[in-house]
Structure 1
Amino acid sequence: MKHLFSFLFIAFLSTTLIAQTTWKADPAHTQVTFEITHLGIADIKGGFDKFDGNIVSKSEDFSDAQYEITIDVPSINTGIEMRDNHLRSADFFDAEKHPEMTFKSTSSEKVGENKYKVTGNLTFHGITKPVSLEVLYRGSIEHPQNKKMISGFAITGQVKRSDFNLGPNFPEPMLSDTVVIDVNGEFIKQ
């Protein structure tokens, strides 16, 4: 009887592990961007050129998905080298001391067809805060050339830079406190 219980437990554990699927961000077809308002009159956009993202799910509709992204802060890119260097400095991201930004989800709630509210912990600049993001699952297809399964996601949310002590010497309306974050792209089934 003891061996039967052990066998059933291992079989259950194996089934659980097999049913779980990991999807990895395709850097060639994914963008991590942000937008902030400057002087109250213009939206300035930028992004991060280096990042790693994973989505792990047991369900095909991603209703139970767990999201994790790691961003290389020094890879910040607004298209203006002088501004990028300033953003890397201690005035803002202090990228030398805090080279990574991470998001790890703690819950996912279905709020509509292919739409989810994902809550998790965002960590950067030495501070961790809970944030909620909106996720739109755009569907899955088999890539016509390499035959790998690919899923598309649009993930967006807002954070307050004051919550992360980012640019405290640059008050509103010089720079808006609200920063819009977007992750948009393709994730490849592993």
Structure 2
Amino acid sequence: MSHRFPTLAATALLTLAWMLPGASLAMDEWEIDTEHFAVGFLVDHAGYARVLGMFLEAEGAFMFDPDTGELGEGYFVVQTDSVFSNHEERDDHLRSDDFLDVENHPEMRFIATDYEPTGEDSGQLTGDLELLGETRPITLDVTINKVGRYPFPLGGIFSRPYVLGASMRGEFQRSDFGMDYGLIRDIVGDTVELIIEFEAQRQ
């Protein structure tokens, strides 16, 4: 990649983030590859099925030592107007002030505050989620799938970066952020299940 911790929004978030207590100064910096970054969600629709959607634009970076499981600063930023659920009218509704209110809140942000390993390749990531101008703590279950040299070049014929791949799962109540459309009569569920998959390159 040509730059580190891209965009002004990302820089501002890292300015707000802090090195977690006890974190090692020897940690590696990892930048999430935007072409291998999926932020999805599941929300119940009137009890019949859950709507599966995703955000098409997101970025993030973190400081992490995969050998010790120590996490320093970390964040990801989602562009809310990039929401996609494979239904144009529904996506327009999701962008409205009934839901994401993208005109006034163009970004959803997560800043990590703690990481606790629960196994050799798993852990729980705690952080602050900012949505619709409200900030609430959430916890994500993390599985580190693989850490190693990439099997084929990226960015050049001789460039095979060191890559960390991970899966994260979590949930939150959208009403905690003031998003209450459809809660009466249970038309739209309150629980939002997050599905996050990414590959990050060591810088």
TM range (shorter): 0.7 to 0.9
Which of these residues, 160, 166, 174, is aligned with residue 173 of structure 2? 160
More helix by share: 1
Which of these residues, 66, 70, 78, is aligned with residue 64 of structure 1? 70
Contact 1:61/1:114 (CA < 8 Å) preserved in 2?
no
TM-score (norm 1): 0.86
Indicate whether 1:173 and 2:179 are aligned. Answer: no
By how many angstroms is 1:144 displaced?
A: 2.5
By how many angstroms is 1:70 displaced?
A: 0.4
2:148 is aligned to: 141
Shift in alpha-carbon separation, 1:141–1:80, aligned structure 2, 3 A: same
Identity among equivalent pairs (%): 32
Question: Structure 1: which 5+ residue stretches go unaligned?
Answer: 1-15
Contact 1:53/1:68 (CA < 8 Å) preserved in 2?
yes
Give the match's secondary structure for 2:89. Answer: helix
1:21 is aligned to: 28
Contact 1:102/1:124 (CA < 8 Å) preserved in 2?
yes
State the alpha-carbon separation in 2 of the partners of residues 20 and 55 from structure 1: 10
> For 1:1-190, what aligned pairs fall within 5 Å after superposition?
17=25, 19-57=26-64, 59-61=65-67, 63-65=69-71, 66-146=73-153, 147-166=160-179, 168-171=180-183, 173-190=186-203
State the alpha-carbon separation in 1 of the partners of residues 58 and 201 from structure 2: 15
By how many angstroms is 1:24 displaced?
A: 1.2
State the alpha-carbon separation in 1 of the partners of residues 97 and 48 from structure 2: 26
Aligned residues: 172
TM-score (norm 2): 0.80
Q: Which has the larger radius of gyration?
A: 1
Q: Residue deviations 1:145-175, cap 9 Å, x none? A: 3210111100110000110111x23115211
Contact 1:115/1:135 (CA < 8 Å) preserved in 2?
yes
What is the root-mean-square deviation of aligned Cα atoms in Å? 1.4
